[in-house]
Every structure is written in C-alpha cells, then in structure tokens.
Amino acid sequence: MTFPHGLRALNHRDFRRFYCAQIVAQVGAWMQLVSQSWLVLQLTDSPLKLGLISTLQFAPVLLFSVVSGAVADRLPKRRVLVATQATLAGQAFLLGLLVATGLVEYWHVAVLGLVLGFASVSDQPARQSYVVEMVGRDDVANAVALNSASFNAARIIGPAVAGVVIGRWGVVPSFFANAAGFVGVILTLLRLGAPGLPSREARAPMLEAIREGFAYALGTPRVRLALGLVFGVSLCVFNFTVYVPLLAKTVLGLGAEGFGFLMAALGVGAVAGALTVGMLGTREPPVAAMFGAAGIAFAMLLGLGLARHFWVAAALLFVTGYFGLLLMATCNTAMQLSAPDALRGRVMSLYTWLSGGVFPIGAFIVGAIAEAWGVSAAFLWNGTLGLAVLAALALWWRVRGRRA
C-alpha cells in the first residue's frame, strides 16, 4: 500500500509502526496530564502549586537538554528510547497506584513529576534525531508534521476522554492507561529494523561537543531565528496545562468535562496546524509566515484574557492551537533539515531545551500571576510579553539576521 503525498512518511515501515504505537501512548500521556492537573487542584486548590508541579516536571529539560543532546549523538537511539519508555511506564503506574490506594499526597505528584522530567529530557533528542534514520532526509519534513499531528490528535482525544473518565470514575484509569501505552511503544521499538546507531565520526570531549552544537546553531541565522520564535511561544503560549484548567474552573465555572473539551478545542486547532505543514511540504517556510503565526498566537492570549463564555474561549483556543503548532512544526522542520547528521542530536536538544525547558519558567509565572491577580491577568501578561519578544526578533531579523 502506498500512502498519498501528504502522508508519504508512512510509506517507511519502521516509521509507520512507531507512529501507530506512539499515537496510543500519546493519548494515554494526555489523559495523565489532564488527570494530574485536576488531581493537584483537588489536593491543593492552589494555582501556584499547580504551576509549581509543571515547573518541577519540566525543570530537568531546562537544565539538562543540551547535555542529553550530546549523549544522544553518542548512544544507540533505540536503546535510549526503550529505557526512557520503561521509566515513563513505571512513573505512570506508581502514580496511579498511589491514587487508587488513597495514599497520594502533593509531594508524591511533585517527585514523580521530576522523574517524568528526567525521562523526557533523555527521550526527546533521541526520538527526534531517530526520525531521520527511519524516513530519510527527503521525507523528514512530512514525518515531523505527522508527529506533530499525532501529538495533537492525542491532545484532542486524551483530554476529551479524560474529562469523561474523571467525571465518572475519577483520575485513576488515566494513569494506568498511560502506563499500558508506554509498554506498547517498548514492544514496537524492539521490532524495528533501524538501530539508531551513533555517528562514527571522531567524537570530541563532551563539553567541546556541546560547544560545537551551540556554535552551529548561533552561527546559522535561520536556526537562531527559529530558536527565538520557539522561545517566545514556549514561554507564553504553551502553558495550557496550567492556564486551561484555571480558565475552566475559575473563570468559566466548568467541571471536568468542560475542561476536557476546552483542551480538545486547543488540540483540534493544533492538529489542523500540523497537517497544514505536512501538506505544504516546503523545506524553507517563509519568515514572514513564521512571524505572522507567532503574532496571531500571542494575540489570541489577549482575547482569552477577556473571554467570559465557553464557546468564545473554545474558538480562541482553537486558533491559538492552530497557529502555535504551525510555528513549532515549521521551526522543528527547518532545524532538522539544516543540521548535519553528526550534530542533529545536539541541535534538536536546543529545540527541546526551549520548547520544554522554558515551560517551567512560564508555568511558574502564570501560576504566580493567577494566584495574585487572577487568571485573566495572566493571559493578558503572557500575550503582551509574547508580542514584545516577537517585536524584538523582528527588529533583529530586519537589521542583522537576514544579512548574515
């Protein structure tokens, strides 16, 4: 069977198997993420403590992504992925067991969030650089778009299912479903033909290797621009695990099912954005379009700061998801294609560093502002800050970036 042009990466058997297993695992991961946020609010009823959990969960990405990228260039990527999936499965199972037995406390969630963060920081650079080996450079743009689409399809299905499950049976089933999904990914990885072997080129010492990755990224204007845009969107837009539950519960007065459907609206838009990138299939996304997508995503945050009705909030979240993911997918693709094979793990670790590592800072800011001045003020702050970052990047690109 031959897949159409917009799905051409699925013609590669290894990628197709991995992709299908990954969708199931991602649905479980989103169910856990939504259930964990709801659990923290049940345990503490504190926006600040909810933001702190996200900070702890993503802090390892901020601190160690660059190191893990250098490691990913030196180790067999498939073995790294098997180890990380096993850790994530154990984390989900233990959290579910604690909740099921009634023993769970806030500090348990915090510690297990750190465990998840350390597993993720090892997983992401290896996963992203492994994609090229499975599909080849010609189809990597489509594979990145499909991965983004599956991630956000799970964002639609997972929260919607979690909202219904929480309303009827509580948060426990989500944690066990997530653990089972990771076991499925492990079994699939063991059957793949692509070993994800490290580069055979001479290896520099670790610090020198990290420095080499930074030098390449900062010396390549389009990569530097992509990293700047990823920084702005990650800091201000993708704090949805903090601000959407607060919007649902505090501003709109919704229960678990309403929260799940707001998350689904965000995910529907994000899937549409990822599929748009896949269908376009361009290797060099226009810089003006990247700036435009970021600007619209930031502007939607200002709208959410003023939203007081469910359908208005859902529509704004849809647009936020569409343009936020459109930008992230094009930045990811540009960096994947730009990086030489021997540097790809390190270059993609910088993407992970900013896309996931900046999140704890943004999550803490959102939680602190929401605690002190309300959720709407947090949205207005993030929208304004994002537009200021975008203006600074536009000025740099006009004066220096495009001439470099």
Number of domains in the chain: 1
CATH number at residue 301: 1.20.1250.20
Domain containing residue 87: 5-403
Output the 3-class SS for the chain: CCCCHHHHHHHCHHHHHHHHHHHHHHHHHHHHHHHHHHHHHHHHCCHHHHHHHHHHHHHHHHHHHHHHHHHHCCCCHHHHHHHHHHHHHHHHHHHHHHHHCCCCCHHHHHHHHHHHHHHHHHHHHHHHHHHHHHHCHHHHHHHHHHHHHHHHHHHHHHHHHHHHHHHHHCCHHHHHHHHHHHHHHHHHHCCCCCCCCCCCCCCCCHHHHHHHHHHHHHHCHHHHHHHHHHHHHHHHCCCHHHHHHHHHHHHCCCCHHHHHHHHHHHHHHHHHHHHHHHHHCCCCCCHHHHHHHHHHHHHHHHHHHHCCCHHHHHHHHHHHHHHHHHHHHHHHHHHHHHCCHHHHHHHHHHHHHHHHHCHHHHHHHHHHHHHHHCHHHHHHHHHHHHHHHHHHHHHHHHHCHHHC
Residue whose entry in the numeric block shows the structure tokens 């900070």: 55
CB atoms within 10 A of CB 395: 11
Rounded Cα gap, residues 212 and 205, in angstroms: 10
Tokens 């900062």 -> residue: 218
Q: Do 65 and 356 form a contact (C-beta atoms < 8 A)?
A: yes
Angstrom distance (rounded) from CA 331 to CA 324: 11
- Rounded CA-CA distance 389/188 in Å is 41
Are 322 and 273 spatial neighbours (Cβ–Cβ below 8 Å)? yes
pLDDT mean by block of 10 residues, the chain; 404 residues: 74 86 87 87 83 78 71 76 91 94 91 88 77 74 73 69 80 92 90 69 63 76 87 85 83 80 82 75 71 93 91 92 85 74 71 73 81 88 93 87 54
Burial class of residue 6 in the structure, from the number of CB atoms within 10 Å of its CB (0-12 exposed, 13-18 middle, 19+ buried): middle
pLDDT score at 202: 44
Residue 13 tokens read as 């058997």
Count the Cβ atoms, other than its own, within 10 Å of residue 22: 22
CA 65 to chain centre: 14
Question: How many angstroms separate the CA atoms of 303 and 383, rounded?
Answer: 9
Measured CA to CA, the distance from residue 86 to residue 185 in angstroms comes to: 9
275, 318, 273, 323: which is closest to 298 by C-alpha? 323
Residue 178: which of 31, 276, 316, 65 has the closest Cα? 31
Do residues 65 and 349 touch, judged by C-beta distance below 8 A? yes
